[in-house]
């Protein structure tokens, strides 16, 4: 029973990592950039939700959708201003720019809204359901279900729409995609919008779950989500989802065993072991380089 | 050897001149306590960044775990100097830190350096985080609070000398036969391997060398700041060192010096802005990267030899 309980906790935490990891993996798949600012877009989403609920008294679902739209716009703006001028530069340079954007968002928000944590409004009354010794809150169910619905939607967009097809084409070969008339810049903007919208949704949901937000909240989940994306095989959408759930479960399991101080060490340890066994992640295919 | 004697003598003269100049400035009062502090931090950053530049810029391996090795050097030096608060203790602590960092780099490097690009980056980042978490949970390191009240054994003179020494060692290593092997791994691993170069060996060698120099930087940090905590050596510190390397120009030692100095001075100037400091710092970082994507100096390297030859050529043409 205890195991089942931890499984539920792990899955709801893991689905947040998975949502964030999807954003990392899509951006990586299309422009090979580790978008360090992604965790901070998630923070902005949480803050936007906070202001929408507190100032305009919108419901939870409205706040969620407004946050997703807001983050999508932020993602496109960041890409346009900071990453697009560096399209032909070495990747490590774009990476440093992404770190700069991340610093800017964190410190800008700390400067404007103070760095102290604030309570996230309870837009939804927390219920706990008891099934025997199991205890599940409605927020946990909501996080899990919303995440899975969003992931299915994402998969549909990528597999069934013209834009999704363009995204896949650009990630395979940007030049060839351009030759057959795909607007590469628009496609990249669209990818950022999609990834950032998912991060916004994750931000609002984590606000509701942990009940506290601050300008630096995106740092650690951002890095963990990136680890999740690498673990599953970066650039692969099912891999990101799998990696997120694995990391959520490992963290909860280590904590439940009473080693909470070593929680992060266990995550990184598993990452290193998996990378040594499968250098391209769990679902990644190792491509042999031909000479 | 004799051929290069002239250039080596000039380099030595430049190094001594720098030391004398700083001494004179300090005596006259142009460099106050505050500026000296900045100078020392720039020096420590140069030591850290040259090591990382060797790994990233010259061997082409993307490491995001430099702060982990720095932490090993810092803690080794701190623990030894707590027991033996003399210069000898500092030397002993630094040497122990370097050996420890070297061994750990070997253990981390052998399995992970098979990985490529971003996978390697994330694996080294994970390894450094594991080092940090172990430091948080050990008794001897005093957990998350860290060690404080350490003897101040490092001053700017010592930092200056160690900057010169590590730079000479690193540059000579790059220009040696082994160093050229490392460069060939960066240019094309498969071609290097087909020429009979043991690529794994040289990648690990660069990684171990870089890790050991990071330990020196860490030891100086511990005995200058006098307080260390595991959180000083987190991902952010690794990223700060990476920023210096990329901003200076990947694969340019001169660039590393320039970027460390520029960022140090920027940091000092921005102290007056209070809370706005980090906002301006991050804006400066983004703008520098957008307008100078190759780094401040690209792959350009300052060379006395070239300068000398050029002036000689000009003199000939003039005659």
- Asked if residue B210 has pLDDT above 90, the reply is yes
Give the pLDDT score at B27: 79
Q: Is B255 exposed, middle or buried (0-12, 13-18, 19+ CB in 10 A)?
A: buried
Q: Look over chain A and give the mean of its residue pLDDT values, rounded to a whole number.
A: 89
A135 has which bridge partners?
Answer: A130
- Asked if residue B288 has pLDDT above 70, the reply is yes
The radius of gyration of chain B from alpha carbons, rounded to an integer in Å, stands at 20
Using DSSP's 3-state secondary structure scheme, residue B228 falls into strand
Average pLDDT over residues B187-209: 90
Give the integer Cα–Cα distance in Å for B317 and B319.
5
* Residue B247 touches chain A, beta carbons under 8 Å: yes
DSSP 8-state secondary structure symbol assigned to residue B273: G
CB neighbours of A102 closer than 8 A, spacing ≥ 6?
Answer: A36, A37, A39, A40, A222
Average pLDDT over residues B28-39: 83
Residue A149: name the closest of A18, A282, A10 by CA. A18
- Asked if residue A115 has pLDDT above 90, the reply is no
Residue indicated by tokens 């030859």: B309
Give the dihedral sign, CA A151/A156/A159/A163.
negative
What does the block give as tokens for A38?
Answer: 């992604």
Residue spans per domain, chain A: 14-218
Per-residue confidence band for A92, with pLDDT thresholds at 50, 70 and 90: confident
With CB atoms and an 8 Å threshold, state whether B279 touches A104. Answer: yes
Give the integer Cα–Cα distance in Å for B139 and B36.
34
Give the pLDDT score at B162: 93
Q: How far is B205 from chain A (nearest CA, A)?
A: 19
Give the pLDDT score at A277: 87
With CB atoms and an 8 Å threshold, state whether A111 touches B122. Answer: no
Using DSSP's 3-state secondary structure scheme, residue B147 falls into strand
Instruction: Let me know: does B134 contact A265? Beta carbons within 8 Å.
Output: yes
Which of B133, B195, B295 is the best residue to mutate to test the A interface, defined by the most A CB atoms within 10 Å of its own CB? B133
Residue count (chain B): 319
Give the dihedral sign, CA A121/A124/A125/A129.
negative
Residue spans per domain, chain B: 35-234
Per-residue confidence band for B318, with pLDDT thresholds at 50, 70 and 90: low
* Residue B185 touches chain A, beta carbons under 8 Å: no
Give the integer Cα–Cα distance in Å for B199 and B206.
11
Q: How many CA atoms lie within 13 A of A161 on its CB side?
A: 11
* Residue B115 touches chain A, beta carbons under 8 Å: yes
What does the block give as tokens for B147?
Answer: 């060690």
B12 has which bridge partners?
Answer: none
With CB atoms and an 8 Å threshold, state whether B134 touches A103. Answer: no
- Asked if residue A45 has pLDDT above 90, the reply is yes
Give the pLDDT score at A22: 92
- The shortest CB-CB distance from B126 to any of A104, A271, A280 is to A271
Residue B65: name the closest of B110, B129, B112 by CA. B129
Chain B hits for A100, CB-CB cut-off 8 Å, are: 282-283, 285-286, 289
Instruction: Let me know: does B43 contact B156? Beta carbons within 8 Å.
Output: yes
* Phi-psi category of residue B276: left, alpha or beta, with phi > 0 → left and psi -120 to 50 → alpha: alpha
- Asked if residue A124 has pLDDT above 80, the reply is no
Average pLDDT over residues A53-80: 93
Average pLDDT over residues A188-194: 94
Q: How far is A225 from chain B (nearest CA, A)?
A: 12
Q: How far is A186 from chain B (nearest CA, A)?
A: 21
Please give the C-alpha separations between residue B129 and each of A35, B104, B136, B216, in angstroms, as whole numbers: 20, 13, 10, 19
Pairing label, strands A134-137, A128-131: antiparallel
B254-280 tens-digit pLDDT = 999 999 999 898 888 888 787 788 888
Annotate chain A with three-state secondary structure. Answer: CHHHHHHHHHHHHHHHHHHHHHHHHHHHHHHCCCCCCHHHHHHHHHHHHHHHHHHHCCCHHHHHHHHHHHHHHHHHHHHHHHHHHHCCCCHHHHHHHHHHHHHHHHHHHHHHHCCCCEECCCCCCCCEEEECCEEEEHHHHHHHHHHHHHHHHHHHHHHHCHHHHHHHHHHHCHHHHHHCCCCHHHHHHHHHHHHHHHHHHHHHHHHHHHCEECCCCCHHHHHHHHHHHHHHCCCCHHHHHHHHHHHHHHHHHHHHCCCHHHHHHHHHHHHHHHHHHCCCCCCCCCCCCCC
Q: Which chain A residue's Cα is nearest to B126?
A: A268
DSSP 8-state secondary structure symbol assigned to residue B152: -
- The C-alpha angle A186, A189, A191, rounded to 5 degrees, equals 110
DSSP H stretches of helix in chain B: 2-28, 33-53, 66-83, 87-112, 117-137, 156-175, 177-187, 189-194, 199-225, 235-248, 253-270, 277-291, 304-318
What does the block give as tokens for B71?
Answer: 């932490």
B214-257 tens-digit pLDDT = 999 999 999 999 999 998 898 889 988 998 998 888 888 899 99
Which of B112, B123, B186 is the best residue to mutate to test the A interface, defined by the most A CB atoms within 10 Å of its own CB? B123
Give the pLDDT score at A43: 95
Instruction: Let me know: does A92 contact B246? Beta carbons within 8 Å.
Output: yes
What does the block give as tokens for B33?
Answer: 């306590």
B308-317 tens-digit pLDDT = 777 777 777 6
- The C-alpha angle B167, B116, B197, rounded to 5 degrees, equals 65
A266-282 tens-digit pLDDT = 888 988 888 888 888 88
- Asked if residue B42 has pLDDT above 70, the reply is yes
Chain A hits for B136, CB-CB cut-off 8 Å, are: 261
Q: Is the pTM of this model over 0.90?
A: no
Q: What are phi and psi of B45, to 5 degrees?
A: -65, -35
Q: Determine what percent of chain B is predicted with pLDDT higher than 70.
A: 98
Residue B208: name the closest of B121, B104, B77 by CA. B104
Per-residue confidence band for A1, with pLDDT thresholds at 50, 70 and 90: low
B139-161 tens-digit pLDDT = 888 888 888 888 888 888 899 99
Average pLDDT over residues B40-68: 92
Q: Max Cα separation, chain A?
A: 62
B98-137 tens-digit pLDDT = 999 999 999 999 888 888 777 888 889 899 999 999 999 8
Give the pLDDT score at B79: 93
DSSP 8-state secondary structure symbol assigned to residue B250: T
Give the pLDDT score at A291: 61
Give the integer Cα–Cα distance in Å for B76 and B104.
13
What does the block give as tokens for B275?
Answer: 């809370």
Give the integer Cα–Cα distance in Å for A90 and B117.
13
Instruction: Let me know: does B243 contact B263? Beta carbons within 8 Å.
Output: yes
- The shortest CB-CB distance from A96 to any of B119, B121, B289 is to B289
What does the block give as tokens for A53?
Answer: 């609920």
Q: How far is B280 from chain A (nearest CA, A)?
A: 8
């Amino acid at each position: 029973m205890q195991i089942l309980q931890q499984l539920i906790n792990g899955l709801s935490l893991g689905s947040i990592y998975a949502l964030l990891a999807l954003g990392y993996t899509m951006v990586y798949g299309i422009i090979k950039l580790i978008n360090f600012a992604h965790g901070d877009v998630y923070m902005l989403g949480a803050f936007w939700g906070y202001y929408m609920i507190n100032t305009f008294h919108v419901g939870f679902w409205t706040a969620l959708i407004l946050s997703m739209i807001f983050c999508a716009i932020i993602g496109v703006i960041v890409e346009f201003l900071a990453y697009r001028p560096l399209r032909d530069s070495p990747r490590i340079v774009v990476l440093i720019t992404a770190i700069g954007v991340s610093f800017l968002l964190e410190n800008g928000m700390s400067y404007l809204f103070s760095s102290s944590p604030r309570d996230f409004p309870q837009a939804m009354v927390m219920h706990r359901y008891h099934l025997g010794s199991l205890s599940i809150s409605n927020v946990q169910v909501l996080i899990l279900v919303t995440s899975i619905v969003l992931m299915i939607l994402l998969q549909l967009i990528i597999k069934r729409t013209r834009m999704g097809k363009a995204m896949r084409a650009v990630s395979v070969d940007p030049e060839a995609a351009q030759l057959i008339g795909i607007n590469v810049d628009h496609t990249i903007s669209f990818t950022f919008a999609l990834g950032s919208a998912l991060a916004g949704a994750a931000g609002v949901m984590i606000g509701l779950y942990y009940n506290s937000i601050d300008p630096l909240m995106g740092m650690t989940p951002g890095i963990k989500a990136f680890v999740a994306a690498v673990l599953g095989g970066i650039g692969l959408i099912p891999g990101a989802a799998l990696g997120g759930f694995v990391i959520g479960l490992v963290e909860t399991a280590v904590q439940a065993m009473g080693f909470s101080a070593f929680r992060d060490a266990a995550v990184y340890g598993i990452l290193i072991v998996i990378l040594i066994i499968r250098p391209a992640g769990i679902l990644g295919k190792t491509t042999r380089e031909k000479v | 050897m004799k051929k290069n004697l002239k250039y080596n003598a000039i380099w030595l003269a430049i190094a001594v001149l720098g030391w004398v100049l700083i001494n004179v400035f300090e005596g006259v009062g142009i460099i106050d306590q505050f500026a000296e502090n900045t100078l020392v931090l720039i020096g420590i950053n140069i030591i850290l960044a040259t090591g990382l530049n060797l790994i990233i810029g010259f061997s082409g391996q993307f490491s995001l775990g430099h702060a982990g090795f720095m932490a090993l050097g810092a803690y080794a030096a701190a623990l030894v100097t707590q027991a033996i608060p003399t210069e000898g203790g500092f030397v002993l602590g630094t040497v122990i830190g370097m050996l420890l960092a070297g061994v750990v780099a070997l253990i981390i490097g052998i399995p992970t350096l098979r990985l490529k690009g971003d996978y390697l980056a994330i694996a080294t980042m994970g390894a450094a985080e594991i080092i940090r978490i172990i430091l948080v949970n050990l008794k001897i390191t005093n957990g998350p609070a860290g060690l404080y009240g350490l003897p101040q054994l490092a001053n700017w003179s010592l930092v200056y000398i160690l900057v010169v020494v590590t730079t000479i060692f690193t540059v000579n290593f790059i220009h040696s036969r082994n160093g050229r092997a490392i460069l060939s791994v960066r240019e094309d691993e498969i071609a290097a391997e087909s020429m009979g170069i043991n690529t794994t060996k040289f990648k690990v060698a660069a990684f171990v060398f870089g890790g050991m120099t990071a330990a020196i930087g860490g030891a100086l940090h511990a005995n200058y700041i006098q307080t260390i905590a595991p959180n000083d050596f987190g991902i952010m510190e690794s990223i700060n060192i990476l920023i210096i390397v990329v901003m200076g120009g990947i694969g340019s030692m001169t660039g590393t010096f320039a970027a460390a100095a520029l960022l140090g001075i920027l940091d000092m100037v921005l102290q007056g802005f209070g809370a706005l400091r980090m906002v301006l710092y991050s804006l400066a970082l983004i703008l520098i990267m957008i307008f100078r994507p190759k780094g401040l100096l690209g792959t350009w390297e300052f060379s006395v030899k070239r300068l000398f030859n050029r002036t000689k050529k000009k003199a000939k043409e003039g005659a």
